[in-house]
Amino acid sequence: MILHLFEARTSGHKYGNWGKFAVGLYGPDEWAWTSAMPREESDPDGAELGLPPAALLRELGWSSPRHMWVFDLQTGEGGMLLPVLRGPGVCYLPY
């Protein structure tokens, strides 16, 4: 995982809001990692398909390289986000 740490602060006020964040982007090793757990999928008749292991993150619906982890370093809150770019330097996080 590639990890970036950064700070942000409101402008124009000596004691403004000061944010401390970590943003993590999955690397090639994480995208290629396969689960050791057997896949429990079956065909419409109920027979086990015996599917080969799949890349776990893609199996769960995450997409490379767009999904990222964002964490507030002050509170420890955060999660997996899918940012939507809205022009140069502008990112919108829908929720």
Q: Is residue 41 part of a domain?
A: no
- As for how many domains the chain has, the answer is 1
21, 5 Cβ separation under 8 angstroms: yes
Query: Tens of pLDDT along 26-43?
Result: 888 988 898 877 666 655
Closest of 95, 60, 64, 55 to residue 79, by C-alpha: 95
Q: Is residue 25 part of a domain?
A: yes
Q: Is residue 43 part of a domain?
A: no
Quote the domain boundaries for residue 31.
2-35+53-92
Q: Is residue 64 part of a domain?
A: yes
Query: Tens of pLDDT along 50-86?
Result: 677 788 888 888 876 678 889 999 999 999 888 776 6
| Global confidence as pTM | 0.63
